[in-house]
């Protein structure tokens, strides 16, 4: 129980002034990212159904459904907003596939409304601590097909909600212990291209708020939720005890530095392939009409998630987001990877489907699994690509660290480009919205000095006369 207690005490005792500037800057980028992806994802598949359902459930008007408007219980608002934030798979991530921000930011906003407001510093502090706890637990996990987001990101949203609700250390301990019992979800949702991927994200934020609220009421959870006989380490770390890794150097070492910001709006396992084909087509005579074949070798892990044969299926957009074949074909045709390239009209383009027949993806057993590194610096996200043209020319590219990875980070300009792609996409899908991206960025830039983060919410709503589906 000492591991769990130390974690709970650290969370409740830490203040904004205890946090390093680097971690705060990372979370600022996470907030900007999630604001952008929520706007862009607001009309995506499944969002209407979730929003309609939470409105039908009704309840106390505690927090706002972003973009579309309306107030519902905080946990219901967080559910709907998280589904929108994850819908386009352009949010922040962390190896081997955990998405923290798409749950923690909506949970933070909803809890801030529930509490009647919180300062920007309180908001950022809660988000940094939530990301840190989830990152540490994620780093020792062996998911083996469980969805890291469903299993581990729930600790982040619980910390965020608990911190903003100002839980004491005992209440925080119970909140995390309750969250442990909400851990779940499978990567089969991703492989089969289903809307469950984004719904799991919503459940994570919803559960975090509920667990924090119940703990504040005195509902208890298993004290040994990490170290216990049937605790987290037994279930999700193959029985290996990782207590020290989770609690060592609390307040000094910040694992949230491992956050990935995607350069492209698709699964993390497609990013290196996108980098590789972009590098090959840049300055070379490589065009769809002269491609004979493209051979892509990825790790067994990446192959399981995104290397399978592309099918349109019931959700072409989701299938495209999780397909290396589609992402490579898209670059060949469009010379870039933007949000609108994953719309159904683009995905179902006959030229894409014809190109995909010449793109072959296979698992390379020499490329490492998550948590390990190859002798050449390769990772589980690495790719080896060979493009052969009809004229017999061969182009080869190896990418070990995709753009946006902490070891190959995006620059400020690239972060801005991602955000504006989201805003442009949102405005194209909902012309009445007319989001002013520059004004929104100005407000986000001063988030740490806001007296009440609820001032951001009006900027994230459609004009009243055009709200709703």
278 and 185 inside one domain = no
Helix, strand or coil, per DSSP, at residue 330: helix
CA atoms within 13 A on the CB side of 349: 17
Provide the number of structural domains found in the chain: 2
115 and 191 inside one domain = yes
Average pLDDT of the segment spanning 451-456: 97
pLDDT at 241: 87
Instruction: Give the separation between CA 80 and CA 54, rounded to whole angstroms.
Output: 7
Q: Report if residue 389 sits inside a domain.
A: yes
Average pLDDT of the segment spanning 88-113: 96
Instruction: Give the separation between CA 194 and CA 398, rounded to whole angstroms.
Output: 31
The domain boundary residue, chosen from 367, 399, 431: 399
Q: pLDDT tens digits for 259-310?
A: 999 999 999 999 999 999 999 999 898 999 999 999 999 999 999 999 999 9
The domain boundary residue, chosen from 360, 378, 399: 399
Average pLDDT of the segment spanning 50-61: 98
The range of the structural domain enclosing residue 388 comes to: 268-399
Buried b (16+ CB within 10 A) or exposed e, 315-342: bbbbbbbbbbbbbbbbbbbeeebbbebb
257 and 279 inside one domain = no
pLDDT at 43: 94
242 and 301 inside one domain = no
Q: pLDDT tens digits for 14-34?
A: 999 999 999 999 999 999 999
Instruction: Give the separation between CA 346 and CA 317, rounded to whole angstroms.
Output: 9
């Amino acid at each position: 129980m000492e591991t769990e207690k130390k974690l709970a005490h650290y969370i409740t005792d830490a203040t904004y002034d205890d946090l390093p500037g680097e971690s705060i800057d990372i979370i600022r980028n996470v907030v900007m990212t999630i604001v952008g992806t929520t706007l862009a994802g607001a009309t995506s598949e499944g969002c209407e159904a979730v929003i309609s359902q939470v409105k039908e459930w009704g309840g106390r008007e505690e927090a706002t459904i972003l973009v579309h408007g309306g107030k519902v219980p905080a946990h219901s608002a967080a559910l709907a907003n998280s589904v929108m934030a994850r819908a386009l798979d352009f949010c922040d991530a962390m190896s081997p596939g955990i998405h923290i921000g798409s749950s923690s930011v909506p949970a933070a906003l909803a809890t801030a409304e529930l509490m009647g407001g919180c300062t920007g510093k309180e908001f950022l502090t809660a988000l940094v601590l939530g990301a840190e706890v989830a990152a540490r637990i994620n780093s020792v996990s062996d998911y083996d097909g469980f969805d890291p987001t469903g299993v581990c990101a729930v600790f982040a949203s619980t910390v965020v909600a608990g911190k903003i609700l100002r839980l004491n250390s005992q209440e925080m301990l119970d909140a995390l212990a309750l969250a442990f019992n909400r851990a779940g979800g499978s990567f089969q949702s991703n492989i089969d291209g289903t809307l469950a991927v984004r719904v799991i994200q919503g459940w994570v934020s919803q559960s975090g708020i509920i667990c924090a609220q119940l703990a504040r009421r005195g509902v208890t959870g298993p004290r040994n939720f990490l170290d216990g006989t049937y605790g987290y380490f037994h279930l999700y770390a193959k029985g290996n005890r990782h207590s020290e890794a989770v609690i060592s150097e609390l307040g000094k070492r910040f694992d949230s530095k491992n956050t990935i910001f995607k350069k492209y709006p698709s699964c993390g396992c497609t990013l290196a392939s996108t980098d590789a084909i972009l590098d090959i087509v840049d300055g070379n005579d490589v065009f769809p009409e002269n491609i004979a074949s493209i051979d892509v070798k990825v790790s067994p892990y990446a192959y399981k998630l995104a290397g399978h044969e592309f099918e349109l299926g019931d959700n072409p957009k989701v299938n495209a987001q999780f397909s290396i074949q589609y992402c490579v074909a898209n670059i060949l045709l469009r010379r870039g990877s933007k949000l609108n390239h994953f719309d159904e009209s683009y995905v179902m383009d006959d030229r894409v489907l014809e190109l995909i027949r010449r793109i072959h993806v296979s698992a390379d057993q020499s490329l490492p699994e998550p948590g390990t590194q190859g002798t050449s610096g390769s990772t589980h996200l690495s790719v080896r690509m060979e493009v052969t043209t009809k004229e017999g020319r061969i182009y080869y590219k190896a990418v070990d660290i995709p753009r946006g990875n902490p070891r190959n980070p995006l620059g400020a300009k690239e972060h801005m480009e991602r955000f504006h792609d989201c805003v442009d996409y949102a405005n194209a899908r909902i012309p009445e919205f007319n989001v002013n991206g520059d004004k929104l960025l100005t407000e986000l830039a001063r988030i740490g000095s806001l007296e009440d983060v609820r001032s951001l919410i009006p900027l994230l709503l459609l004009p009243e006369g055009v709200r709703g589906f």
